[in-house]
Amino acid sequence: MAENINNTTDGLIDKIILWFYKNDVDVPPNTVTSSSDSSEWTRFRDIEIEIIEEAYQESKADVLLDKHRIDLKNLMQIRLDDNKKQGSVKREIVSGRTKCLRQGRFSGAPVITSEAISSTTYGNFDSWCPFLRSWLMSSAGKRAWLHFPSCIEACAQGIIQEAFQHDSNSNSEAAFMAKKIRQCVGRSQLEVSKLCIHFYTKDSFLYDVLNKALRELDLSKLETLGPLGYLIGAYSRGAQEFVGTVYRGMELKYSEIEQYKCAIGMWKTWPAYTSTSKNRKMAEFYGNTLFVIEITDNKLSAPRTFDISNISSFPAEEEVLLPAGACFQIINVTQNREQKYIIDIQI
């Protein structure tokens, strides 16, 4: 949603840049349009904002999105298939501080798995997730693991292919992300991982398709999403593990809450990447259930959780990312005075 005012990978909480548009209207010939009509402003999607802002900073006259040309000189958006349909656009610098977390990112209910393979998470991140294990065992995964530049290219190509298959008018966004990832050839794996996490924190088709593939163990997506999932997880190799307590608010059905009650003392996993926050107050904003997640210090494992607030486009969310497939133990399920369920788990 937001482009950081200073740098796309080193965000400051204070200020962010947003771009907005008004809906297309039919403009009669020789009509002077006005930006003062009463229609509401709509925020561009996260990656679209990055695309527009980059063109703006480079003093370009215009920039193309999937369905529109953005005229940066006259601050207009024009339909590519009908130039009579136009609308105003505007750029705003706003406070980066937030009072609540993004609902889709921090309050969706992750799928709880059956009994975890082991009672804790040891070893490297790529041994925890069946999807990533399958990719690494494939010929494409072995090739990418042995030759890192081929992993970068496979990641870029996969993003473009997924955008085409997703059919959500995201091709320009995918091309932009692929271009940035390809520019990382010759850089360290940690830098590439940071960029992939930065894009993952955006609200885009990429977040949805990756986590869906991980949750459903969709092996048909190995070629397109395996490299991306691997590069996000590979951040753990150079990151310092976050140890402490994080939170996630969710709206759970009664049957789902009963699942957790029946599993007290057991070890489970969430198969997809899971966003949590260090800020309890913001996490409590959504849902009827609050997960209180204690992350313990485990010297026998690679980092299992990492603070990505300095990489995220939304640093004020204080996000700590749980890797796909990390194991947790369900400690207790209670209700507080406000009748909100509190589920205590330990990693």
Task: Give CA–CA dist 84/18, Å, rounded.
Answer: 25
SS (H, E, C) 45-61: CHHHHHHHHHHHHCCCC
Q: What number is the average pLDDT over the span 254-262?
A: 93
Q: What number is the average pLDDT over the span 306-316?
A: 83
**In the numeric block, which tokens belong to residue 81?**
């298939």
Q: Which amino acid is at 226?
A: G
Q: Please, where in the chain does CATH 3.90.176.10 lie?
A: 103-115+240-346
**What CATH fold (topology level) applies to the domain 103-115+240-346?**
Toxin ADP-ribosyltransferase; Chain A, domain 1 (3.90.176)
CATH of domain 3-95: 3.30.720.50
Q: Does residue 125 have a pLDDT over 80?
A: no
Task: Give CA–CA dist 191/184, Å, rounded.
Answer: 8
Instruction: Encode pLDDT of 203-228 as tens digits.
Output: 889 989 999 999 999 999 999 999 99
Pairing of strands 62-64, 68-71: antiparallel
Q: Quick one: pLDDT at residue 103?
A: 57
Confidence at 298, pLDDT banded by 50, 70, 90: confident
Instruction: Write the Ramachandran bin of 186: left for phi over 0, alpha for psi from -120 to 50, otherwise beta.
Output: left
Tell me the β-bridge partners of 291.
248, 343
Q: Please, where in the chain does CATH 3.30.720.50 lie?
A: 3-95
Question: Per-residue DSSP letters for 120-173?
Answer: S--B-GGGT-HHHHHHHHSHHHHHHHH-HHHHHHHHHHHHHHHHHHHTSS-HHH
Q: Quick one: pLDDT at residue 38?
A: 47
Q: Does residue 333 have a pLDDT over 70?
A: yes
Q: Quick one: pLDDT at residue 68?
A: 96
Exposure string of 115-127, with b = 16+ CB inside 10 Å and e = fewer, is ebeeebbeeebbb
Instruction: Tell me the backbone φ, ψ of residue 46, rounded to 5 degrees.
Output: -50, -55
Q: Does residue 128 have a pLDDT over 80?
A: no
CB 315 within 8 A of CB 331: no
